[in-house]
Amino acid sequence: MVTTQADVIDDSEVEVYLAELSTYSLERLQKEPDLLRVEAKRHENSIEKLACEHYHGFVAAAETIHNVNGMAVDMAGSLRSIGNTLPKLSNGCDTFATEAHQIAKERKTNRLMLTHHKELVELLEVPQLMDTLVRNGFYEQALELQSFALNLGRLHQKLPIVQSIVEEVNQTAKAMRLQLLQLLQSDVQLAVCLRAVGYLRRLEDNTEEELRTCFLECRDKWLQEMLADIPDDNASTYLVKLADQHRVHLFDIITQYHSIFGDELDTKPQGGGFLSHWVRIRIETFVHNIESMLPQVVDSALLSNVLKQCMYCGLSLSRVGADFRVLLLPIFSRHILELLQGNLDALQQHFEAALDGFDWVAASRVQARSVEDATEQVANMAPLELLEHAPLAAATNYLLMCFNDLRQCTPYALKDDMVVALDACLGSLADTTIKAVEHLDERMLDRPKSADSMLRVMSGLALPYISQCFDCIAGDQDCLHLSIVQERLDATITPVADPESQTAAIESSAAPPSTSHPSATPAAPPAVQALSTNAATPAAVPPAYAAPLVVPPAYTAPPAVPLAAPPAHAAPAVNISSHKAPPAVPPVYSAPPPGPQQASAGPPTLYRPPPSAASAAAVKRSAPPPPPPPPVSK
């Protein structure tokens, strides 16, 4: 870098120059830049001339400086090398002295070892012998050999060979402890558990609290492996086997724990025992598994079987103070109530679809029996008048199927919730029927006779009969609150001032068409072909509505068929209230199979979606629905 004159001018010279400029005239100031350039050029030429005349001095000085710097760097490197070499030399000398001393010491030790060779060989075989005993399961002899090695180590603490033997023996003892813990993680009986825990105590590696914890951890791991082997492709089978495994193995583990350790540390006033904490965790896990898998069980027979097994498991564990049955009641009650609510929702949808496709005019040609005549039937039978109204008969049959399922596994604590759900469902069915009748009044000048007949049958026969069947399940009388619903139905019926004129009108409208065989008795309506019955039904309930209706001579009611036995899948109920299970409730009808011109749609079976629009069209053609299949018994 070239240093110019401007770089070395200080502030004082600048001030002098500025003061001098202030004295110049205008003409001189205009010439000042040129004069300054001339002066600067003159100085640059002077510097170049000086450099050309004395360049040999400059080059020699630069070379001298460079040589001196190189020599200084070489000297510094040599000094560092010497400084690094001196410690290594000192360390080498120290190492040599140490190794020489160690070699002398080892020579002395080798001479001593040669003198006691036989005794040393016997001591060196101690770890190998203990390992053999542990592998073959001779834990008693292995513990005696470990005690000998530990005593020898305490006597000769300064001998390395003895300490190495003691260390190897301790390593073998650790392997023995792991082997005993693995033994506790298998399917072993109480005697084996007692011996294994006794050997673990003699190892003195754990305190009493740690030993209890290890025992529970090992048994818990084995129990979890047993539970993990249960296939979970079928929810009901999985829950039954899960309850059975807990009933057997959890009881065994608790019994083993009490037999081995006693109850000294598990009866604290605060309730903080090891066993109680572990049992609480296992029961919480078991209840959580039931709560997560139970929604997949929808069949009542399977649900009843699961409930039985779970209650039996709680009963067995109650003998050791682990009764958890009170935790199962809300889970099963909630699930059963959800199933019932789902069935009632499906029933409402199907009933609405059936009413939309119901032919009220065609149904009016079939005159119903009088409600008063219903009391002349065989006691406790389903009212035959329900068969004259296909939607009402299908809804009643579906409710009876729900009742037959409820009777197998319904806790008594669900009574109030079921009453609320059924009251709401029956009220909704009544409202749907009333709306359908009011819609008919808007479309037609005269209300069909079948509309009033359905309202009377629903109010006076269907609702009391459903209430009577539900009383069998609830174990009480008049559980359902149907008076308000019946009042709404009765208020919708068309009032008639003269019963005789009503009877004449019904007889004239119900006259059968002429046939090729006048003397033959007219056939009953298609819906009144067969009647599924039950051998044990509740006592008859007086009808809530008894309007005077006369059977026309053209109609002959079919004879009453004896009630059949309950379905094979209806197992006895598991009722927490310990009252006996009520008998199965029969379906209202069981029609023959459909013909070629007859629709195959019918009332939905339990736990299936409501029927499609084809069912409504079939009802509109006045075709009798086929019999509903009974719930599948697996």
568 and 420 in one domain? yes
Q: Which of 85-99, 434-448, 495-509, 588-602 has the highest mean pLDDT?
A: 85-99
Asked if pLDDT for residue 518 goes beyond 50, the answer is: no
Q: Is residue 185 within 8 Å of residue 221, measured between CB atoms?
A: yes
Please check whether residue 312 lies inside any domain of the structure.
yes
Q: What is the pLDDT of residue 360?
A: 75
Average per-residue pLDDT for the chain = 74
190 and 141 in one domain? yes
197 and 69 in one domain? no
498 and 355 in one domain? yes
How far is Cα 211 from Cα 197, in angstroms, rounded to an integer? 8
Number of structural domains the chain divides into:
5
CA angle, 18 as apex, 12 and 23 as ends, to 5°? 135
Structural domain that includes position 67: 57-115
How far is Cα 583 from Cα 565, in angstroms, rounded to an integer? 10
441 and 424 in one domain? yes
387 and 280 in one domain? no
Q: Which band of pLDDT confidence, cut at 50, 70 and 90, is reported for residue 370?
A: very low
Q: What is the pLDDT of residue 267?
A: 52
- Residue 123: exposed, middle, or buried by beta-carbon count in 10 A (0-12, 13-18, 19+)? middle
Q: Which band of pLDDT confidence, cut at 50, 70 and 90, is reported for residue 412?
A: confident
Give tens-digit pLDDT for 320-357: 888 999 999 899 999 999 998 999 999 999 998 888 88
342 and 319 in one domain? no
Cα-to-chain-centroid distance, residue 31: 103
Tokens of 24: 């110049």
Q: Which band of pLDDT confidence, cut at 50, 70 and 90, is reported for residue 482?
A: confident
400 and 314 in one domain? no
Give tens-digit pLDDT for 153-196: 888 888 888 888 899 999 999 999 999 999 999 998 999 999 99
Please check whether residue 142 lies inside any domain of the structure.
yes
306 and 370 in one domain? no
Q: Which spans in 229-265 are helix H?
A: 235-245, 251-261
Give tens-digit pLDDT for 78-119: 888 888 888 888 888 888 888 989 999 888 888 888 888 887
- Amino acid symbol at 400: L
Please check whether residue 577 lies inside any domain of the structure.
yes
287 and 161 in one domain? no
Which has more pLDDT, 90 or 554?
A: 90
Q: Is residue 540 within 8 Å of residue 585, measured between CB atoms?
A: no
Please check whether residue 12 lies inside any domain of the structure.
yes
261 and 168 in one domain? no
125 and 107 in one domain? no
